[in-house]
Amino acid sequence: MKIVLNIVGTLLVLIGAIWFLQGINVLPGSFMTGQTKWVVRGAIAFAAGIIALVGANSIRNNTRS
């Protein structure tokens, strides 16, 4: 579960950053360029990714040696 959350969190952070940068017109050349809705969606995806990464890395391993 921890590995899956790390992968999903990383993907959300990367996708969110790309969407955000396209929305604020830093990465041009897409239908998303310069559109406010992609700024908002990117910020939400980025935040969700950070939350997933923090949550994944706070899960304790319950195995005993």
Q: For 30-48, write each residue's pLDDT tens digit.
A: 888 889 999 999 999 999 9
What is the Cα–Cα distance from 63 to 61, expressed in whole angstroms?
Answer: 6
- Binned at pLDDT 50, 70 and 90, residue 62 comes out as low
What element of type H or E holds 42? helix 36-58
39: which 2 tokens?
């700024």
* pLDDT at residue number 60: 72
| DSSP-derived 3-state class of residue 31 | coil
What is the Cα–Cα distance from 35 to 63, expressed in whole angstroms?
Answer: 48
* pLDDT at residue number 28: 86
Q: For 1-33, write each residue's pLDDT tens digit.
A: 889 999 999 999 999 999 999 999 998 888 888
Domain boundaries of the chain, sorted by first residue: 2-58
